[in-house]
Amino acid sequence: MFYGEFFHSIDRKGRLILPSKFREAAKGNFVERFFVTRGLDKCLFMFSEEEWKSQESKFKAISFTKQEARVFNRLYFSGAAEVSPDRQGRILLPQYLKDFAEIKRDVVIVGVSNRIEIWSQDKWQEYYKNWRPSFEEISEKLMEAP
């Protein structure tokens, strides 16, 4: 549902405007609110409400007797914030999430199919630079027949 890479900035009031393509995709799928939380690789994950519930079901199914499951669920869910875009498509990111992702002003919003990732521009460029040369090799490994 969400695809592409978009460069934006946080405004003076701490709001981030979602790319118009993402707003159109959300509207076309009747998405009115999202959940944002700590992601992996120092970015934020943002899910539609429906996708959030799907992810939540998967993580709740992991036994809480496993320490790694408890740690993951605590960090993942305690960082979650519900956000609803305003009429201009802006969302307000909590400061603790911006701190986690080291977001100051310039961000890159990346569509990764069922989720949106929000990166500090510096972190995204570093990530892309480090992983781009391995893209073909990784795709070969992932696409190998079992």
As a whole number of angstroms, the longest Cα–Cα distance in the chain is 51
Indicate the CATH number of 2-143 among 1.10.10.60, 3.40.1550.20, 3.20.20.80, 3.40.50.10190: 3.40.1550.20
**pLDDT tens, the chain, 146 aa long:** 899 999 999 999 989 999 999 999 999 999 999 999 999 999 999 999 999 999 999 988 989 899 999 999 999 999 999 999 999 999 999 999 999 999 999 999 999 999 999 999 999 999 999 998 888 888 888 887 66
Model pTM score: 0.91
Domain boundaries, the chain: 2-143
